[in-house]
Amino acid sequence: MGKDTKDLNTQDTPALENRRRFLGRSALLGLAGAGVSMGLAGCKEEAKPAAAGTAAAPAPAHAASSHEVAPGQLDEYYHFSSGGHSGEVRIIGIPSGRELRRIPVFNIDPMVGWGITNESKAIIGTNPDGSLKYNTGDTHHVHGSYKDGTYDGRWLFVNDKIHSRIARIRMDTMEVDKITELPNVMGFHGIFPDKRDPVDEKINYTTRVFCGAEFHCPLPNDGRDLDDPSKWGALFSCVDAETMEVRWQVRVDGNMDLTATSYDGKLVASNQYNTENSAELGGMMASEHDACVFLNVERIEKLVKEGKFTTIGKSKVPVVDGRKAANSDPKTAVTCYVPVGKNPHGVNASPDGKYFVCAGKLSPTSTVIELALVHKWFAGELAKERDAVVAEVELGLGPLHTGFDGKGNAYTSLFLDSQVVKWNIEKAIAFAKGDKTAKYVVDRLDVNYQPGHGFASMGETKEADGKYFNSGNKFSKDRFLPVGPLHPETEQLIDISGEKMKLIADHTAYPEPHDGIIVRRDVVKTRKIYNMDDFPNKVTAETSGIERKGNKVHVRMLSMAPAFSLPIIRVKKGDEVTLTLTNHDKIEDLTHGCAIPNYNINFIVNPQETKSVTFKADKPGAFWLYCTHFCHALHLEMRSRFLVEA
Ligand code: RUQ
Ligand code: CUA
Ligand code: CA
């Protein structure tokens, strides 16, 4: 990572300088005669790249200590974190812990206008009357798209457990561009992109995203079988990464929890804590063993191709039968139920591509499953599913999730013991084979407190680099100043570069992050500004104006610091108003806002971006439409009169 430090400095500092200069110089232009034409002139000039040598003084190449990030210095990694029932995704710098950005996904965000603009509403989904279908969500797991077994920086995918939706985030803009609701699924929890195609070698990148469903429900859920949970079922879904349409589903016994994919693209697995298929807490803990279910992607897709599927209710998505009874012959089975410890949680793929590790939760063990043996079972060459287990070793109380350092070690969170335990996978296998001298536990570290997910830098790729491990703790208790009955949670950063783990920072987190990934910064390539032509409804100087068709009024406006193109917008009470705003500024980060008092309108437009809102002008009066996003010395003056005639 040291190697690109210089690049980033020379790339980013002039941009910063560019905006700083713009703010200074355009203030003068604006004062000389605020107006869009003046703004345009200023903009053209500023669009030129900054001359060399104008950059601010370079910051020192290395911070004081390996994990401190000095002021002005940039982090080595991006941490993309789910936001739990806040419904969002967050971007945090690692190792500094700086919160860089929040990405609204299933929540409403007035800052960007997510859930307020027509464009975001269309992505989230609307009722026939145009109102939002849902305005809340619960994000647990965020994962990046892959190429060649590592992140390609193209997309992030995240689940909504409440409404069983999957969202895709474009990593060039860090905005959601698609959301899909899974049919006949409740409690969509685990999510994981595939890493390559199971058959076509040329497709060595993500084309599918797999989705586990934690709750069973009536199929279809239309009022039938309310009092007979034995008839309820759970579906595992495959979503097309490109179109975001649901390709197929598999009906399984038990409930799916978390999800992991193999590096060869052939296997995807989900842990199950309720193989009992019970609707009661006691029943879910009845059996001594639950399962890690492996799905054979190639075989499922063959059945779909051959038309060997059913559909459920109104959904057209093909559903293949993956229940045990229909899959007793390994040679044709699409599923393999590998028994693991009681009520497991978490399944994670080791970066060498050889193992999946399932954490025991109610069992103090971690189970190591060798994928080559699962393949053998599907070939009819392994006697029992359980024979794919090569180790089931004791780690401590409440094991939940496992990260990897790429050096053969695993790091498992222990919820009840409030610890992270570092253990060696090959030694655990040797121990399980009978070598009782094999000391597989390498180190233990107390964390504060009750860790859920833990994940390492690049740890879910074949480029796992063993530098940092993030422990996502569910309780911070006494670690921070009290801020009322609700406390922040902690993300504790652990240096895992040595033999012993070292706790290096406590970072607060707004409730409630679950899973995350830590991505090397050179993987992420964001845009500086938008491309105006990507917006079919863009407003130009020629189209700016007010168009009336009956009582439908279309206001087309552009913004250019420090003015909107229409100083007066006049409509009549009862009109349906659509306001479309294009930001013609071209300077990176020169964003404008648009708020209309008493009308509940608030959104931003980034440079070269277009957004629109539609609302009923039902309150007569004069309302100052104003810019909310500090953009210019004349930011406060940047406003238009929105006049509604009685
Ligand atoms: S789960 S604390 Cu939603 Cu990721 Cu395990
Ligand atoms: Cu435009 Cu503030
Ligand atoms: Ca169970």
Q: Which amino acid is at 22?
A: F
In this prediction, residues 488-495 reach a mean pLDDT of: 97
CATH of 532-644 given 2.60.40.420, 3.40.50.720, 3.40.50.970, 1.10.10.10: 2.60.40.420
Q: Which amino acid is present at 506?
A: D
**Eight-class DSSP state of 286:** -
Query: Per the structure block, which two tokens stand in for 77?
Result: 């990694």
Q: Which residue has the tokens 């779909």?
A: 304
Whether 400 and 345 have beta carbons less than 8 Å apart is answered as yes
Nearest residue to 167 via CA among 239, 251, 235: 239
The dihedral region occupied by 621, where left means phi > 0, alpha psi between -120 and 50, and beta the remainder, is left
Of the listed ranges 4-8, 117-121, 458-462, 564-568, the one predicted with least confidence? 4-8
* Spatial contact of 572 and 551, defined as CB atoms under 8 Å apart: yes
**382-392 mean pLDDT:** 97
Residue with the nearest Cα to atom 1 of ligand 2? 592
Q: Which residue shows structure tokens 């570092």?
A: 422
pLDDT at 65: 60
- As given in the structure block, the two tokens for residue 635 are 């930011």
pLDDT in the model for residue 117: 98
Q: Is residue 496 pLDDT above 90, yes or no?
A: yes
* 153-180: average pLDDT: 98
**Does 629 sit in the ligand 2 pocket, CB within 6 Å?**
yes
Evaluate if residue 51 carries a pLDDT over 50.
no
From residue 242, alpha-carbon distances to 167, 177, 179, 206, 531 in Å are 12, 11, 12, 9, 21
Average pLDDT over residues 261-271: 98
Can you tell me the mean pLDDT for 588-596? 97
The whole-angstrom separation of Cα 175 and Cα 109 is: 12
* 532 φ/ψ angles, rounded to the nearest 5 degrees: -55, -35
Work out the pLDDT band at 32, boundaries 50, 70, 90: very low
Residue whose entry in the numeric block shows the structure tokens 């980033």: 8
178-200: average pLDDT: 98
Domain boundaries, the chain: 532-644
CA 140 / ligand 1 centre spacing (Å): 6
Cβ 566 vs Cβ 545: under 8 Å: yes
**Whether residue 638 has its Cβ less than 6 Å from ligand 2:** yes
Residue 1 has pLDDT above 80, yes or no: no
Answer yes or no: is the C-beta of 631 below 6 A from any ligand 2 atom. Answer: yes
**Residue 268 and residue 262: Cα distance in Å, rounded?**
6
- Cα(57)–Cα(38) distance, integer angstroms: 32
**217 vs 456: CA distance, rounded Å:** 35
Average pLDDT over residues 48-53: 37
| pLDDT given at position 67 | 85
Phi, psi values for residue 231, rounded to 5°: -90, -5
For residue 165, give Cα distances in angstroms to 138, 140, 160, 258, 511: 10, 12, 5, 15, 20
Spatial CB neighbours of 349, under 8 Å, sequence gap ≥ 6: 260, 261, 262, 263, 355, 356, 460
Cβ–ligand 2 distance for 561 under 6 Å, the answer: yes
Per-residue confidence band for 456, with pLDDT thresholds at 50, 70 and 90: very high
Ligand 1 atom having least distance to the Cα of 413: 2
1, 171, 512 from 84: Cα distances, Å: 30, 20, 5
Examine the pLDDT at 357 and tell me if it is beyond 70. Answer: yes
Q: Is 560 in the pocket of ligand 2 (CB under 6 A)?
A: no
* The predicted structure's pLDDT at residue 95: 97
pLDDT for the residue 21: 53
Residue 88 has pLDDT above 90, yes or no: yes
**pLDDT at site 306:** 98
Percent with pLDDT over 90 in the chain: 89
Bin 13: left if φ > 0, else alpha if -120 < ψ < 50, else beta.
alpha
User: How is residue 461 written in tokens?
Assistant: 């790729």
Q: What's the CA gap between 517 and 142, in Å, rounded?
A: 7
Residue of 514, 456, 455 whose CA lies nearest to 139: 514
Mutate to test the pocket of ligand 1, among 211, 258, 412, 455 (most ligand atoms within 8 A of CB): 258
Alpha helices in 163-289 (DSSP H): 281-284
Q: Report the length, in residues, of the chain.
A: 646
What integer best gives the mean pLDDT of the chain? 91
* Two tokens, residue 339: 């028994």
> b vs e for 272-287, b when ≥16 Cβ sit within 10 Å of the residue's Cβ?
bbbbbbbeeeeebbeb
Residue 10 confidence (pLDDT): 35
Structure-block tokens of residue 133 = 């279908």
User: Which residue out of 140, 215, 271, 491 has the highest number of ligand 1 atoms within 8 Å of its CB and is therefore the one to mutate?
Assistant: 140
CB 511 within 8 A of CB 489: yes
Q: What is the pLDDT of residue 66?
A: 72
Residue 303: how many other CB atoms lie within 10 Å? 18
DSSP 344: -
pLDDT at 8: 34
- The CA distances from residue 598 to 532, 565, 616, in Å, are 30, 22, 12
- 283 vs 27, which has greater pLDDT? 283
* CA pair distance 646, 628, nearest whole angstrom: 27
Which ligand ends up closest to the CA of 34?
Answer: 2
**pLDDT tens readout for residues 543-561:** 999 999 999 999 999 999 9
Mean pLDDT confidence for 76-89: 98
pLDDT value of position 538: 98
Read off φ and ψ for residue 403, nearest 5 degrees. -115, 170
Q: Which ligand is nearest to the CA of 26?
A: 2
| 133/341: higher pLDDT | 133
Q: What is the mean pLDDT of residues 445-457?
A: 97
